[in-house]
Homo-oligomer: A and B are copies of this chain.
């Protein structure tokens, strides 16, 4: 990778400094965001998350939670009861992230129709297999 700015104003991020990418790497995961949303309402149990996210596998739930925990976005509290009980809760930074994500959601709602229409017309113009065999 050429680190040199080849004349062009590389407005963009010098690799190391790009926080966007860092966030995205964290949000990119198919499930992270949905878990954050699901856990936004307060402490939630493993099984509740499993049902709440709906579609996630037990494995991915575990893995994603581990990553979120590692990044300090959720806390994991084990209650030493006889039937084990583990609760996950968002940390403060994660709650702030959640708020930010809400504006993303808002944007999505506002532009959902626009995007759908754009796709429709695009797909119409670029008919994939208009040439039948």
Contact = CB atoms under 8 A, between A and B. Distances in A.
Interface of A: 1-2, 6, 8, 10-13, 15, 18-24, 26-28, 30, 33-34, 37-38, 41, 48, 51-55, 69-73, 93, 96-97, 100-101, 103-105, 107-112, 114-115, 117-119, 122-123
Quick one: which of A53, A96, A115, A119 has the most chain B CB within 10 A?
A: A115
A12 B38 contact: yes
17 contacts: A2-B51, A8-B51, A10-B52, A11-B41, A12-B34, A13-B34, A15-B54, A19-B105, A19-B112, A20-B37, A28-B30, A70-B123, A72-B122, A93-B107, A96-B111, A97-B111, A104-B104
Contacts of A96: 107, 110-111
Contacts of A11: 38, 41, 52
Query: Mostly helix, strand, loop or mixed at chain A's interface?
Result: helix
Contacts of A51: 2, 6, 8, 10
**Among all A-B residue pairs, the 9 with the closest Cβ atoms:** A72-B118, A19-B108, A23-B108, A70-B122, A93-B111, A12-B52, A19-B109, A71-B115, A100-B103
A34 B112 CA distance: 21
Given A11-B41, A70-B122, A108-B20, A114 B101 contact: no
